[in-house]
A and B are shown apart, each in its own frame.
Chain A
Amino acid sequence: MTLETLGWQGLVVLVVFGISLLIATYCTYAERVIAAFLQDRVGPDRAGPFGIVQPLADAVKLFTKEEFFPSGANKALFIFGPCLAMITALMSSAVIPFGNILQFGETAIRLQGIEINVGMLYVFGIVSLGVYGIMIGGWASNNKFSLLGAIRAASQNISYELAMGLALIAVLMMSGSLSLRDITLQQSVPGEWHFWNIVKQPLGFIIFIVCAFAETNRTPFDLPECETELVGGYHTEYSSMKMGLYLFAEYVNVFVASAVMSVIYFGGFNFPFQYELREWLHSAQGLSVDAAQNIIVILGVVTIFAKIFAFIFFFMWVRWTLPRFRYDQLMRLGWTILIPLAIFNILLTGGLITTGIIPEIKQWWVSSPLG
């Protein structure tokens, strides 16, 4: 990897970081507007036109609120908890492929922070670290309700990570690669009929999305912050921007979960007829190969963000539709339904691969380009 590539990739990482934060910021606004619309209300419309600067007003409010430390709290861990939640939430977006490679003469820019051949494993590792932020914060608060919320978060995440991982194994059996870029490119073969993984893995997708709701602690699985039973759950004692970081981390997690689902099951930055469009731009419009490719790449970035926003909308839509599960129902769903279903899905996929109904994928692209 040359120094120049390193510089460009560093820039991409910074941009991805900024975009994650921006999307999380506006998720708070979108959540409130969508909630309002689903309930026949108006939503925030006072700050700026259509309330568009509401997130800024919220941030000012959170930053200027009183910083509160409960007596008997472990001060260092009390601060460390929300920081860890935020750091882990932001880290996982680094491996998401937001686009293919932009080519400007000699310079190539890969629209993906880091390309590692274990990208999926990396995301999983970081997501399971995320629960430590909640656990540490809940424990350090020196409050029974916070501790109960933290324990719930831990056991819930462990239970649902299993089903999530098993659902993914079926995808990995087809792809033969853990790299998110490989998985994306496999879903569109030039000059052939190809399908997104959702067509091959409908059951796996349903298991995955249910687990994603549980992993991001969103309704109907937001037991860790269940306000009807636990006051505020793990963030009962939090105030000011530490509270804001927890809420923010949740939205970043939603963004990352949406991105992962778009990449794994919905073709990532691929869109239908992209190679035909590139061919047409090149031959009929007389653009150079690089220019035609770059247009496709930029349209691909638009595509993946459209998919991500659709998923974020779905997360919010579900939140304002479904009531919360009871804790024993949550555990029963995870252990006695989702995990057996996921194992069945693995067997089914294995059978389909052996019988050749799901065709083997020929690798037509360069794995891990630019180092």
Chain B
Amino acid sequence: MESLSNRAKKLEKKPMTLAERAYLPAIFQGLSITMQHFFRAATKKQVTIRYPEETRPFSPVFRGLHVLKRDEQGRERCTACGLCAVACPAEAITMVAGERKKGEQNLYREEKYAVSYEINMLRCIFCGLCEEACPKAAIYLQADKMAPPRYERDEFIYGKDRLVEPVSPDNRSKRGIQLTPEQADKLRSQLA
């Protein structure tokens, strides 16, 4: 039959040579290849990451577990405006707003604050739209932390007790800090 595209290659079935029929040359070729792999595995560093001892490095733009930030004086930045909940495509965020009382100025930055703030980590798709929507730079997705597996479904609903970052700056996530121009350039070059 005439070929339509002319791309078909005509193959010729040649009878095997004596060396091919004797198996042994091909076997030794194969053995030498596996031996090269053996020495490579024995001498060079293996690509395997031995998980509990070693962990794979996170990408600098990884979006992991959320954190509710505090400002420089340790006050919660969130004002419970609800923009994050509106932006959330998975509808994972709920919150109850409250008015700041007298004497709570060192706890909350604005006059309105979130009495409760919950994220359902089973619904969350870690898209980061809440981070973009927040006008107060209050919520961020940490680059170095994942939502760990748990046994019960209700344990995946993270309240303020687990979302708000610690008061001490040492324990805080590095994410969400304003980058200097040099740091931003470095990050960009890493991503490229």
Listed in ascending order, the chain A residues whose CB lies under 8 Å from chain B are 34, 36-42, 45, 206, 317-318, 320-322
Contact = CB atoms under 8 A, between A and B. Distances in A.
A335 to B, nearest CB: 16
A16 B190 CA distance: 61
Interface string B34-60: 110110111000111010000000000
Contacts of A318: 27, 31
Given A42-B48, A42-B50, A37 B31 contact: no
Contact of A40 (B24, B27, B30, B46): B46
Interface in B3-53: 24, 27, 30-31, 33-35, 37-38, 40-42, 46-48, 50
B31 A40 contact: no
Nearest to A206: B24
B34 A40 contact: no
When A and B form their complex, which 10 residue pairs have the shortest distance between CB atoms, in order from nearest? Answer: A37-B41, A321-B34, A42-B48, A38-B34, A37-B38, A321-B30, A38-B38, A40-B41, A321-B31, A38-B37
Contact of B27 (A36, A37, A42, A322): A322
Given A37-B42, A42-B46, A42-B50, A322 B30 contact: yes
A40 B40 contact: yes
A97 to B, nearest CB: 30
A206 B23 CA distance: 12
Nearest to A46: B50
Contacts of A40: 37, 40-41, 46-47
Contact of A45 (B37, B40, B42, B50): B50
27 contacts: A36-B41, A37-B37, A37-B38, A37-B41, A37-B42, A38-B34, A38-B37, A38-B41, A40-B37, A40-B40, A40-B41, A40-B46, A41-B41, A41-B46, A41-B48, A42-B46, A42-B48, A42-B50, A206-B24, A317-B31, A317-B34, A317-B35, A317-B38, A321-B27, A321-B30, A321-B34, A322-B30
Nearest to A314: B31
Nearest to B52: A46
A38 B41 CA distance: 7
Contacts of B50: 42, 45
Contacts, number: 39
Nearest to A325: B23
Contacts of A34: 38
Contacts of A37: 37-38, 41-42
B38 to A, nearest CB: 5
Q: At the interface, is chain B mostly helix, strand, loop or mixed?
A: helix
A114 B145 CA distance: 67
Contacts of A38: 34-35, 37-38, 41
Contact of B34 (A42, A45, A206, A320): A320
A320 B34 CA distance: 8
B187 to A, nearest CB: 33
Nearest to B40: A40
B16 to A, nearest CB: 13
A38 B36 CA distance: 8
Contacts of B33: 321
Contacts of B48: 41-42
Interface in B78-133: none
Contacts of A317: 31, 34-35, 38
Contacts of A36: 41
A322 B34 CA distance: 10
B62 to A, nearest CB: 26
Tell which of A34, A38, A45 has the most Cβ of chain B within 10 Å.
A38
A281 B59 CA distance: 66
A317 B32 CA distance: 10
Nearest to B24: A206
B21 to A, nearest CB: 9
A199 B42 CA distance: 32
A35 to B, nearest CB: 10
Contacts of B34: 38, 317, 320-321
Nearest to B29: A321
Tell which of B31, B33, B34, B35 has the most Cβ of chain A within 10 Å.
B34
Nearest to B27: A322
B27 to A, nearest CB: 7
A314 to B, nearest CB: 9
B73 to A, nearest CB: 49
Contacts of B27: 318, 321-322
Nearest to B33: A321
B19 to A, nearest CB: 15
Tell which of B31, B35, B47 has the most Cβ of chain A within 10 Å.
B31
A157 B132 CA distance: 72
B29 to A, nearest CB: 10
A301 B40 CA distance: 31
Contacts of A206: 24
A209 B101 CA distance: 89
